[in-house]
Amino acid sequence: MAQRVSVNISRRNGAPGDAESCPGCKQLLSAAELKESLNVCPNCGHHFRLGARERVAMLADSGTWEEIAAHLRSADPLEFFDLRPYSERIEEAEYDTGLGEAMIAGTCRIHKMDTVLVVMDFSFMGGSMGSVVGEKFWRAADTAIEYRFPLVAVCASGGARMQEGILSLLQMAKTTCAVDLMSQAPVPFVSILTHPTTGGVLASFATLADVIISEPGALLSFSGPRVIEQTIKESLPDDFGLAESNLSHGQIDMIVPRNQLKDRLVQVLGMLEGGVACALEPLWEEEAGRPGRGGPLAGALGRIKALANAPWRSLKG
């Protein structure tokens, strides 16, 4: 079950030594340079996309990642064909990315805090959500509820996987139900929206998180900019749908640059976990001296136990 995190995935594109021009400042950046800076331009701060495995390596404490539901694969339920069959596109995506699907899920520790982490990868068929992504999200939520770990979802998606037709649309309903189960538990759920997060993923679990964090410059919109331009027949403002615009319109909680993401994430989770701890052992019950709860000492111990997952202490250390 445990899988080692590897960032040395063979890719057809982007072989080592390739230099890339930064869309933000046009500076030429070497692959090694980009890798060193978590795929952020050291010159202007432009955030390049980050693969799912690289994201896990960045967020999870070294050696703590254990993947769940890794063996799930698309079944091509519609026998979908366009210019090429869906099954062939899947094979190619697997080969190009080294991933089995557009989302990986697992448990890990983040600054010593036990967490369920799901990460989407845009390079796997545009990070589209089909049956496997929906089922992986459900199992991740199940795991979070069972172990009382918070769930963190790093999103990157063009929307629903149209090659799975109506089944992909229904993954929006499915993941929504999973979010509701987490809020009944309750376990904290934080989403991290990265460039781009659009369509069905944005219109389901991604925007249902307790706290929504975005990376700078990420495109976050339900409809794609081109679709909107075609509809309204005029060109869009430069900042259309960007994280910064979403923040000012009240759609997300905060924008956090990649190099600060892990620390900020753990602070937010810690705050929410502190609340969960109090909800499990409410102070007022202790004061009312309700029978059968083991007295004030046991109550206090319970709180401490639930708070053990809160990481702000480890941040100080």
Which residues form the interface with Zn ion (CB under 5 A)? Answer: 22, 24-25, 41, 43-44, 46
220 is a site residue for other proteins (CB under 8 A): yes
**Is 179 one of the binding residues for other proteins (CB under 8 A)?**
yes
Told to check if 138 binds other proteins by CB under 8 A, we report yes
Q: Bridge partners of 306?
A: none
Interface with other proteins includes 85 (CB under 8 A)?
yes
181 binds, among other proteins, Zn ion, none (CB under 5 to 8 A by kind): other proteins
**Contact flag: residue 241 with other proteins (CB under 8 A):** yes
39 vs 171, beta carbon nearer other proteins: 171
Q: Please, which residue, 48 or 312, has the CB nearer to Zn ion?
A: 48
x-or-dash pattern for other proteins, window 103-132, by CB under 8 A? Answer: ---------------------------xxx
- Of 22 and 137, the one with the shorter C-beta distance to other proteins is 137
Residue 46 contact, options other proteins, Zn ion, none, Cβ 5-8 Å cut-off depending on partner type: Zn ion
Alpha carbons within 13 A on the beta-carbon side of 30: 5
Residue-wise DSSP of 93-134: HHHHHS-SSSEEEEEEEETTEEEEEEEE-TTTGGG-B-HHHH
Residue from 38, 57, 167, 211 touching other proteins (CB under 8 A): that is 167
Q: Does 255 bind other proteins (CB under 8 A)?
A: no
Tell me the DSSP string of 251-297.
Answer: SSSEE--HHHHHHHHHHHHHHHHHHHHHHHS-HHHHHHT-TTS-HHH
DSSP state of 160: B
Q: Half-sphere exposure (CA, 13 Å, Cβ side) for 10?
A: 3
Q: CA 63 to CA 77: how far, in whole Å?
A: 36
Among other proteins, Zn ion, none, what does residue 83 contact (CB within 5–8 Å per kind)?
A: other proteins
If one asks whether residue 181 binds other proteins (CB under 8 A), the answer comes out as yes
Q: How far is CA 4 from CA 7, 33, 65, 66, 103, in A?
A: 10, 24, 7, 8, 17
Using omega within 30 degrees of 0 as the cis cutoff, is the peptide bond preceding 196 cis? Answer: yes
- Residue 165's binding partner, choosing from other proteins, Zn ion, none, with beta-carbon cut-off 5 to 8 A by kind? other proteins
Rounded CA separation 305/18 (Å): 50
* Residue with smaller CB distance to other proteins, 57 or 203: 203
Do residues 197 and 224 make contact, with C-beta atoms less than 8 angstroms apart? Answer: no
Question: Of 21 and 176, which CB lies nearer to Zn ion in the complex structure?
Answer: 21
Q: Which of 24, 45, 77, 282 touches other proteins (CB under 8 A)?
A: 77
- Measured from the CB atom, the residue of 96 and 263 that comes closer to other proteins is 96
Beta bridge partners of residue 253, listed in sequence order: none
Distance between CA atoms of 158 and 161, rounded to whole angstroms? 8
Verify binding: residue 185, other proteins, rule CB under 8 A: no
CA distances from 31 to 47, 48, 57, 90 (A): 14, 12, 17, 26
Residues found near other proteins in the complex (CB under 8 A) = 71-75, 77-85, 88, 92, 95, 130-132, 134-135, 138, 160, 162, 164-174, 176-181, 198-200, 202-208, 220-223, 227-228, 231-232, 236-237, 240-241, 245, 249-251
